[in-house]
DNA sequence: CAGAATCCAACCGGATACTG
DNA sequence: CAGTATCCGGTTGGATTCTG
C-alpha cells in the first residue's frame, strides 16, 4: 500500500494514509532479500544442486546460514528439497515454477548493479 | 559472478569457480535491500518528501532507522538531501535520476508479491 | 522539525564440534 | 554428505532523551 498524499493550500504536503502493515516491497524483501536468498535461487536456475555445491557456489556463507535460508525458501515454496538415499546420503535442491517467477526480477537487479558498477 | 559447473562422467556436478567476493545480487541487496530502503525510494517517486512525512509514509520504522537508511542512500547516490532554512528547519529528500533507475525493479518486486499474495 | 546520542535487549551469524 | 548443536561476539534496532 502506498500512503496517499494531499497538498494543502500553503503547498505543504499532508500524509493521510499510513502504511500500518509492511507494504509489498518490504514483504518481498523478506522473501527474496536478506542475505544469500537471491544468490541461492540464482544458482539453482540451471538444475538441481546439492547442498555442499550450493554452499560453494554461493560463497562466503556458512553452512548454517545456507541451511537456514534453504528451509525458509522451501517454506515459501521457492524451492524443493529431495533426499536421495545413497551412502552417504545426498540431498538436491531444485527451484520450483514459482521460484522461477522470481528470476526475472533477480536478473534486473543484477543488471542494474552491473550497469552502474555497484 | 556465477560459479561455473561441469558435469563429470558419473553425472556428478563439479563446481569449479567459487564466488569469492559477493556477487552482483548480494551487492544489489546491500544497496536496495535491507530494511526500509525499498519503501523509502518508492515513496519518493512523486516528489520531495520531508523527514517526518517520510517516516509516517514508511510506517513501522523508527526515526533512527529512517535517518540511517537515508544517509546510506544519499551516499549511494539514490537520493539527495536539501535543507530549507525556515524556522523550524525543514529538510526535503528527493530521489535522483540514478535512484529512479531502480524504481523499475522495485515495481516488479511489488507486482510479484501482490500477484502471488505474499 | 529533523535529527543525534545513549542505553540495552534481541537477534544474527561465524566457528567449531558433533551426528546419522 | 548434509546437516544440527552449541558457544559467543558483534550488530541491529527500538525506546527514550536531548538539541539547534
Over residues B58-85, the pLDDT tens digits come to: 988 999 999 999 999 999 999 999 999 9
Query: Hey, of B4, B59, B103, which one would you mutate to test binding to chain A, going by the most A CBs within 10 A of its CB?
Result: B59
Distance CA A18, CA B59 (A): 6
* Nearest-Cα residue of chain A relative to residue B28: A113
The pLDDT assigned to A14 comes to 53
* Nearest-Cα residue of chain A relative to residue B56: A18
Summarised one tens digit per residue, pLDDT across range B40-64 is 999 999 999 999 999 999 988 999 9
Cell of A74: 522451501
Distance CA A91, CA A89 (A): 7
Give the CA-to-C1' distance from B64 to C6 in angstroms: 12
Per-residue pLDDT band for B34 (boundaries 50, 70, 90) equals confident
CB contact under 8 A, A116 and B101: yes
> Are A37 and A69 within 8 A, CB to CB?
yes
Residue A22 per-residue DSSP state: P
What pTM, to 2 d.p., does this model score?
A: 0.86
- CA torsion sign for A32, A38, A40, A42 is positive
Q: How far is CA A81 from CA A30, A48, A67, A96, in A?
A: 21, 9, 11, 10
First to last CA, chain B: 29
CB contact under 8 A, B114 and A24: yes
Residue B113 has pLDDT above 60, yes or no: yes
CB atoms within 10 A of CB A51: 17
Q: Which residue is nearest to nucleotide D12 (CA to C1')?
A: B65
Amino acid at each position: 500500500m502506498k500512503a496517499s498524499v494531499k497538498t494543502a493550500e500553503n503547498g505543504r504536503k499532508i500524509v493521510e494514509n499510513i502504511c500500518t502493515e509492511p507494504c509489498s516491497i518490504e514483504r518481498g524483501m523478506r522473501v527474496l532479500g536478506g542475505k544469500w536468498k537471491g544468490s541461492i535461487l540464482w544458482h539453482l536456475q540451471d538444475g538441481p544442486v546439492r547442498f555442499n555445491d550450493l554452499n560453494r557456489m554461493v560463497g562466503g556463507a556458512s553452512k548454517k546460514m545456507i541451511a537456514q535460508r534453504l528451509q525458509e525458501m522451501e517454506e515459501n515454496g521457492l524451492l524443493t528439497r529431495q533426499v536421495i538415499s545413497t551412502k552417504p546420503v545426498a540431498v538436491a535442491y531444485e527451484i520450483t515454477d514459482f521460484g522461477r517467477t522470481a528470476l526475472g526480477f533477480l536478473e534486473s537487479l543484477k543488471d542494474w548493479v552491473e550497469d552502474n558498477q555497484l
